Amino acid sequence: MEYVVAAIVIAVMVVVIAAFVAMGRRGGQATAPEQRQTSSTSTGGAAGTREEEGAAGRGGVVTDEHPPTGADDLGVVEEPPAPVVEKPAPAKGRMVRLRSRLARSQSTLGRGLLTLLSRDRIDEDTWEEIEDTLLSADVGVKPTQELIERLRTRVRVEGAASPEEAKAILRDELLTLVGTDLDRSLHVARQGGKPAVVLVVGVNGTGKTTTVGKLARVLVAEDKDVLLGAADTFRAAAVDQLATWGERVGVPTIRGPEGSDPASVAFEAVKAGIEQEADVVLIDTAGRLHTKTGLMDELGKIKRVVEKQAPVSEVLLVIDATTGQNGLIQARVFAEVVNVTGIVLTKLDSTAKGGIIVAVQRELGVPVKLVGLGEGADDLAPFEPTAFVDALLAD
Ligand code: GDP
């Protein structure tokens, strides 16, 4: 009997203790929301640098579902901190500032030519070596022949040149070859009360999306109101990548659902640009060089829908300078499909073959307007022939 009573007492005690423990747990959970830390998210995409992470962390969207009640009780609503927007470097004179990048990558061409031209006696073998140097720097056959012809004439007329004279002659003739009188300005002024529309085209991997992001910064540095259209809808990462570039300088990006029609995104971007009275709408397009007909259909449609609302002011073709002859073939195909108005030559910091500037301009009859000189945010420069040639011939 005693055992039975003891067992009942123990059982009751166990139940009571278990009930207390359970209540304690529930009470703890009830306080959890107040204890939860405020968290932030960023839309930071593929190009997440430490700088971006910092900016996103400071200006990210607050996602806490349970804000502290104290603020409401006092009638004070806490605003999330304003996003930190970067101030891009001025575009003017960028190429001079980035000249060391060019000098590093292009020294083979410039110095090679200078050494050959400074020889005491320039015989046929030397001229052949000069020709080989130009051809291997992708200058192209016809421009190379023209340059050699002009150099030969000057050396004949002006006599054997000292190294300084040789340098002056070469500088002159390279400038003529690159072209100092082409209109390299970007047409980005509002027209007829509508924003300028810039289509950026090119094969994937050439640096197209990066160029759109960097170009947005160039324009922001010039106090332009910019809007981005993420019409490269085939590469999911491209849309996020572009939006991240935009966020960094406070520029909005119009995007569609993944895999949506690029033309409809372009249409919406221009529509938003008109409504928001933007100065420039920059549209990143898909760069799949599948078939010429496919490309023509795609770019043709984008251009048509855009032009229903505003004229296209610039079509910039992005070419990767490191791809040499392949780049030229791509350029030819795009030029047949759209009316290219300017060339952006990227990755000029990673090749010694700067001669492609001459070749591509000749091929398309369109000027190089911008050059990419690195992966940094402000490593896109308006192309300046003098800075380029001086970098080629730098000591
Ligand atoms: P897309 O597929 O044409 O849009 O190409 P992306 O914009 O994604 O760029 C491809 C790669 O090229 C990225 O790693 C870029 O950082 C790199 N890139 C773009 N422009 C330059 C440049 O001027 N110099 C160097 N070194 N890399 C570049």
188-246 pLDDT tens trace = 999 999 999 999 999 989 999 999 999 999 999 999 999 999 999 888 789 999 999 99
Q: From the alpha carbon of 374, which atom of ligand 1 is closest?
A: 24
Sequential DSSP letters for 69-89 = HHHHHTT-PPPPPPPPPP-PP
Q: What is the pLDDT of residue 52?
A: 34
Among candidate residues 128, 123, 169, the one with its CA nearest the CA of residue 150: 169
Between CA 289 and CA 203 the distance in angstroms is 6
Among candidate residues 356, 346, 341, 381, the one with its CA nearest the CA of residue 183: 341
Structural contact between residues 338 and 199, judged by C-beta atoms closer than 8 angstroms? yes
Structure tokens at 299: 């770019």
- The one-letter code for the residue type at 260 is S
Q: Ligand 1: which residue has its CA nearest to atom 12?
A: 207
Token look-up 């079509």 returns 315
- Write the pLDDT tens digit of every residue in 330-351: 889 889 889 999 999 999 999 9
Q: What is the pLDDT of residue 34?
A: 31
From the CA of 309, how far away is ligand 1's center (Å)?
31
Q: What is the pLDDT of residue 254?
A: 97
- Euclidean distance between the first and the last CA atom of the chain, given in angstroms as a whole number: 109
Q: Ligand 1: which residue has its CA nearest to atom 18?
A: 207
Between CA 357 and CA 331 the distance in angstroms is 12
From the CA of 124, how far away is ligand 1's center (Å)?
41
Q: What is the pLDDT of residue 325?
A: 85
3-class secondary structure, 58 = helix
From the CA of 259, how far away is ligand 1's center (Å)?
22
From the CA of 210, how far away is ligand 1's center (Å)?
6
Q: From the alpha carbon of 210, which atom of ligand 1 is closest?
A: 7
Between CA 262 and CA 210 the distance in angstroms is 18
Between CA 98 and CA 374 the distance in angstroms is 9
Out of 203, 210, 319, mutate this one to test ligand 1's pocket (max ligand atoms within 8 Å of CB): namely 210
Q: What is the pLDDT of residue 373?
A: 95
From the CA of 375, how far away is ligand 1's center (Å)?
7
| Cβ density class 222-251: b for 16+ within 10 Å, e for less | bebbbbbbbbbbbbeebbbbbbbbbbbbbb
Please tell me if the CB atom of residue 372 comes closer than 6 angstroms to any atom of ligand 1.
yes
Q: Ligand 1: which residue has its CA nearest to atom 17?
A: 207
Q: What are the beta bridge partners of residue 284? A: 200, 230
CA atoms within 13 A on the CB side of 190: 15
Q: Rounded to the nearest 10 degrees, how much is the dihedral formed by the CA atoms of 363, 364, 368, 374?
A: -70
226-231 sheet: strands from edge to edge: 253-254, 226-231, 280-285, 196-201, 312-320, 342-346, 368-372, 380-382
Q: What is the pLDDT of residue 394?
A: 84
Between CA 29 and CA 35 the distance in angstroms is 10
Please tell me if the CB atom of residue 209 comes closer than 6 angstroms to any atom of ligand 1.
yes
Please tell me if the CB atom of residue 303 comes closer than 6 angstroms to any atom of ligand 1.
no
Q: Which residues of the chain have pLDDT under 70?
A: 1-78, 80-83, 160, 289-290
Out of 49, 201, 375, mutate this one to test ligand 1's pocket (max ligand atoms within 8 Å of CB): namely 375
From the CA of 207, how far away is ligand 1's center (Å)?
3
- The one-letter code for the residue type at 215 is L
Structure tokens at 2: 């005693």
Q: What is the pLDDT of residue 33?
A: 32
Q: What is the pTM of this model?
A: 0.79
Please tell me if the CB atom of residue 273 comes closer than 6 angstroms to any atom of ligand 1.
no
